[in-house]
A and B are shown apart, each in its own frame.
Chain A
Amino acid sequence: MSKPVLATTSLAGCFGCHMSILDIDERILQLIELVEFNKSPVDDIKTFTKPVDIGIIEGGCCNSENVEVLRSFRKNCKILISLGECAIMGGLPAMRNGIPVEECLHEAYIGGPTVQLNKSHILPNDDELPMLLDKVYPCHEIVKIDYFLPGCPPSADLIWNALVALLTGDPMKLPYEVVKFD
Chain B
Amino acid sequence: MSNLIKFKIDGNECMAEAGTYIVEAAHQNGIYIPTLCNMPGVKPKGSCRICTVKINGRLMTSCTTPVTDGMEIESNSNDINELRKSIIELLFVSGNHFCPACEKSGNCELQALGYLYQMMVPRFPYDFPKREVDASSPFIIKDQDRCIMCKRCIKSIKDKEGRSYFAFHNRGNHLEVVLDKELAANMTKETAELAMKNCPVGSIIVKEKGFVVPIGQRKFDKKPIGSDVTV
Residues of A within 8 A of B (CB): 82, 85, 88-92, 94-95, 97-98, 135, 138, 140-141, 147-150, 152, 174, 176-177, 179-182
B121 at the binding interface (Cβ < 8 Å): yes
Q: Contact at B215–A98, with CB atoms within 8 Å?
A: no
**What are 7 of the A-B contact pairs (CB < 8 Å)?**
A82-B121, A88-B120, A92-B101, A95-B101, A147-B120, A181-B111, A182-B106
- Looking at the assembled complex, report how far the CB atom of B228 sits from the nearest CB atom of chain A, in whole angstroms: 15
Instruction: Summarize A's interface: helix, strand, loop or mixed.
Output: mixed
Total number of residue pairs linking A and B with CB closer than 8 Å:
70
Cα distance A174–B101 in the bound complex, in angstroms: 24
Q: Which of B105, B125, B129 contacts A182 (CB 8 A)?
A: B105
B115 at the binding interface (Cβ < 8 Å): yes
Chain B residues within 8 Å of A85, by CB:
98-100
Given contacts A91-B98, A135-B128, A138-B126, contact A180 B115 (CB under 8 A): yes
Closest to A177 in B: B222
CB 8 Å contact bits of B190-231 with A (1 = contact, 0 = none): 000000000000000000000000010000011110000000
Q: Contact at A94–B98, with CB atoms within 8 Å?
A: yes
Residues of B within 8 A of A (CB): 92, 96, 98-102, 105-106, 111, 114-115, 118-122, 125-126, 128-131, 215, 221-224
Q: Contact at A176–B120, with CB atoms within 8 Å?
A: no
Q: Contact at B118–A179, with CB atoms within 8 Å?
A: yes
Q: Contact at B100–A92, with CB atoms within 8 Å?
A: yes
Given contacts A181-B111, A182-B100, contact A94 B120 (CB under 8 A): no
Closest to A152 in B: B100
- Looking at the assembled complex, report how far the CB atom of B39 sits from the nearest CB atom of chain A, in whole angstroms: 23
Q: Contact at A98–B129, with CB atoms within 8 Å?
A: yes
Chain B residues within 8 Å of A181, by CB:
99-100, 105, 111, 114-115
Besides A89-B121, A138-B121, A140-B121, 10 other A-B contacts (C-beta < 8 A):
A94-B98, A95-B101, A147-B120, A149-B120, A150-B119, A177-B221, A181-B100, A182-B100, A182-B102, A182-B105
- Looking at the assembled complex, report how far the CB atom of B148 sits from the nearest CB atom of chain A, in whole angstroms: 16
Q: Contact at A91–B118, with CB atoms within 8 Å?
A: no
Q: Contact at A98–B223, with CB atoms within 8 Å?
A: no
Chain A residues within 8 Å of B126, by CB:
89-90, 94, 138, 141
